[in-house]
Amino acid sequence: MPRVTPSQIIEAALFVGGTSLTIKRLCALLKGEFDQHFVEDTIDGLNKLYAAENRPYEIRFGTGGYRMELRDSFEAVRNRVFGFGPKEVKLNQDALEVLSLVAYGIGAGVTPTCLFALPSVLRGPAGAARAFGALMNGRNLGVLVGPVLFAAASKSAGGWHAAVPLFAAGTTLAVVAALCLFPMLTPRATGESAQGTRR
């Protein structure tokens, strides 16, 4: 099997695409056996080879490092194939966090409607007040304990990724509880519907 050359490693890494690659990252791919000047000279040599063979791409240095990109003279060909549609939108981390909060707020806004209707459905009008009090105590307990629990888990694990299994466990318990409550709701709803029909 022929040995892979450093030039081929650099070319393959840039050909795969994705994020830009810095000189430091390219040197790391070569296991630190070659310095920055070697990587720069190799990229210059690749670009000269691409130009001599009239290839449609070249290696460019920009924000974040080196990327393999299509030459400007071939943009018309790409536009004929893929059209002039909107380009891919890449959001930075701050924008993604804001959108996540908005999505969470939309979902959280639906929850109170279900919570406020549940006590009277489970216990009927006579027991709705006590059921609602128990429900709100549980909800407030979650609001109090939840952030402390997640913060402690995040601190011990060294990142917020530790909150993922906790959220998953909480969601699983909620689904199990809903499945257990469903048989209780069905007879009551059926009975109320029958009483309304007799009236």
3-state secondary structure of 58: strand
3-state secondary structure of 21: strand
Task: Give domain status of residue 1, yes or no.
Answer: no
Task: Give domain status of residue 87, yes or no.
Answer: no
Cβ atoms < 10 Å from Cβ of 66: 21
pLDDT band at residue 194 using 50, 70 and 90 as cut-offs: very low
Separation of alpha carbons 30 and 17, rounded Å? 18
Parent domain of 34: 6-82
Q: List the structure tokens of 111.
A: 């929850």
Check pLDDT > 90 for residue 185.
Answer: no
Tell me the residue type at 188: R
> Could you tell me if 108 and 177 lie in one domain?
yes
Task: Give domain status of residue 197, yes or no.
Answer: no
Domain count, the chain: 2
CATH number at residue 13: 1.10.10.10
* pLDDT tens, position by position, 50-91: 999 988 889 999 888 999 988 888 777 777 776 655 555 666
Separation of alpha carbons 18 and 37, rounded Å? 24
* pLDDT tens, position by position, 5-44: 999 899 999 888 778 899 899 999 888 888 999 999 999 9
Percent of the chain with pLDDT over 70: 75
Let me know: does 189 contact 127? Beta carbons within 8 Å. no
Give, in degrees to the nearest 5, the angle at Cα 147 between 93 and 102.
Answer: 40
pTM comes to 0.40
> Could you tell me if 22 and 110 lie in one domain?
no
Q: List the structure tokens of 116.
A: 């406020």
DSSP assigned state of 83: -
